[in-house]
Amino acid sequence: MNYLCLDFEGVLIPEIWQYVAEATDSKDLMLTTQDLKDYDELMQLRMNVVNEKNIKLSDIQEIVKTMEPFEGAENFLSWARANFQVSIVSDTFYELAWPLVEKLNFPNIICHHLIVEKDKISGYKLRQENNKQKVVEALKSLNFKVFAAGDSYNDINMLSNADLGIFFQAPEHIKAEFPNLLTADTHEELKKILQENI
């Protein structure tokens, strides 16, 4: 059986922090891993904003509950789960992502945890450093053929270490930096590439 690792935000769902940015009028929260290569720098920026603006975890969770997966994401994921072992491998957090995991019928997700004290987000705890790449390496060590799809700088190691890595709706500046990776702009295109390479 082949294994498929999918990024969450940008592949199956919109960017959570951008929704929070719009709801709280916080321009700095519009930045994502498509903009900044250093994940810790990005998260420190986010932590600063939520604390300066007194944005609580429950505030963000209420915003996330209003979000919906991308059109076509649920059908694509159903097809993928029928043809692969599938894990979402994401740099999001269980405390934020769970309402959207529920809307996609609870796929397996490997991500991180926020540190929360009395509803205040005080930090975050990574599952492990370079988690996405290490998940792929672990699956390959179990003799799975691993496919992966993602859209951002933090997906590069995952995509490059998979047997087949595919950009999904990645911005042009990232695709230009990594021209060796295949690209798909729709879930149907992604499905076609996967079918051709199973």
Q: Which of 7, 15, 95, 151 is catalytic?
A: 7
Q: Output the pLDDT for position 36.
A: 85
81: DSSP letter: H
Angle at 98 between CA 64 and CA 143, to 5 degrees: 135
Q: Give residue-wise pLDDT tens across range 149-191.
A: 999 999 999 999 999 999 999 999 999 999 999 999 999 999 9
Could you give the CA distance from residue 105 to residue 101 in angstroms, rounded to a whole number?
7
Q: Residue 9's CB: how many other CB atoms inside 10 A?
A: 24
Could you tell me whether strands 3-6 and 85-93 are parallel, antiparallel, or unpaired per DSSP bridges?
Answer: parallel
Q: Does the pLDDT value for residue 87 go beyond 90?
A: yes
Q: Which of 9, 15, 95, 155 is catalytic?
A: 9
- According to CATH, what is the number of the domain 3-16+67-197? 3.40.50.1000
Summarize the confidence of residues 47-56 as an average pLDDT: 93
Summarize the confidence of residues 35-52 as an average pLDDT: 91
Could you give the CA distance from residue 38 to residue 126 in angstroms, rounded to a whole number?
14
Q: Does the pLDDT value for residue 91 go beyond 90?
A: yes
Angle at 150 between CA 2 and CA 6, to 5 degrees: 40
Query: Taking the C-alpha atoms of 146, 151, 157 and 159 in order, what is their torsion angle to the nearest 10 degrees?
Result: 30
In the chain, domain spans:
3-16+67-197
The pLDDT > 90 percentage for the chain reads 92
Q: Give residue-wise pLDDT tens across range 117-146.
A: 999 999 999 999 999 999 999 999 999 999
- Model-level pTM? 0.93
- Give the total residue count for the chain: 198
Summarize the confidence of residues 35-59 as an average pLDDT: 92
Q: Does the pLDDT value for residue 22 go beyond 90?
A: yes
Q: Output the pLDDT for position 158.
A: 97
List the beta bridge partners of residue 6: 88, 149
Q: Output the pLDDT for position 57.
A: 95
Could you give the CA distance from residue 154 to residue 134 in angstroms, rounded to a whole number?
13
Residue (of 44, 36, 25, 92) closest to 64 by Cα position: 92
Could you tell me whether strands 164-168 and 85-93 are parallel, antiparallel, or unpaired per DSSP bridges?
Answer: unpaired
Q: Are 187 and 69 in contact (CB under 8 A)?
A: no
Residue type, 23: A
Residue 34 — very low, low, confident or very high, per pLDDT cuts 50/70/90?
confident
Residue 143 neighbours by CB under 8 Å, 6+ apart: none
Q: Output the pLDDT for position 1.
A: 83
- Annotated catalytic residue 7: yes
- Annotated catalytic residue 9: yes
